Amino acid sequence: MDFSDKGVVLLSKLLDLTTTKNKVSANNIANANTPGFKKYDVSFQNELVKAVESKNISKIKDIQEKITLSGDKSTRKDGNNVDLDKELVSFYQMSDRHNVYLEILSKKFKGMVAAIEGK
């Protein structure tokens, strides 16, 4: 399904990006007690800002998140660099954002359905 509405495209992309961010955070959380594990980070904010500022739908659709090994230094003896508290906060923040984007998109679709039905 291809929508040309910039709001729908942007919300759809934001849902994809927050899903990826939470998958990576969940992996980091799951490995918080694994000796030697190095956490991963996800970045997409800079590309998102550029794409939105360009007002070009194809640039928004083409945004790709970057999953990289974190450069954070380990403060633990076992070499693991996951800060469980920070990861949990990040996970819940992304979950909240995801739910907000989903709610907005749902209302947008309900509005489209109402317009089609003539309500």
Residue 105's Cβ-count burial label (10 Å; 0-12, 13-18, 19+) is middle
Cβ within 8 Å of residue 90, ≥6 positions away: 21, 25
Q: What is the pLDDT of residues 13-71, one digit of tens each?
A: 999 999 999 999 999 999 999 999 999 999 988 898 999 899 888 899 899 999 999 98
The one-character DSSP state at 74 is P
**Rounded Cα gap, residues 105 and 114, in angstroms:** 14
Do 6 and 107 meet the contact criterion of CB atoms below 8 Å apart?
Answer: no
Domain ranges for the chain, please list them: 6-117
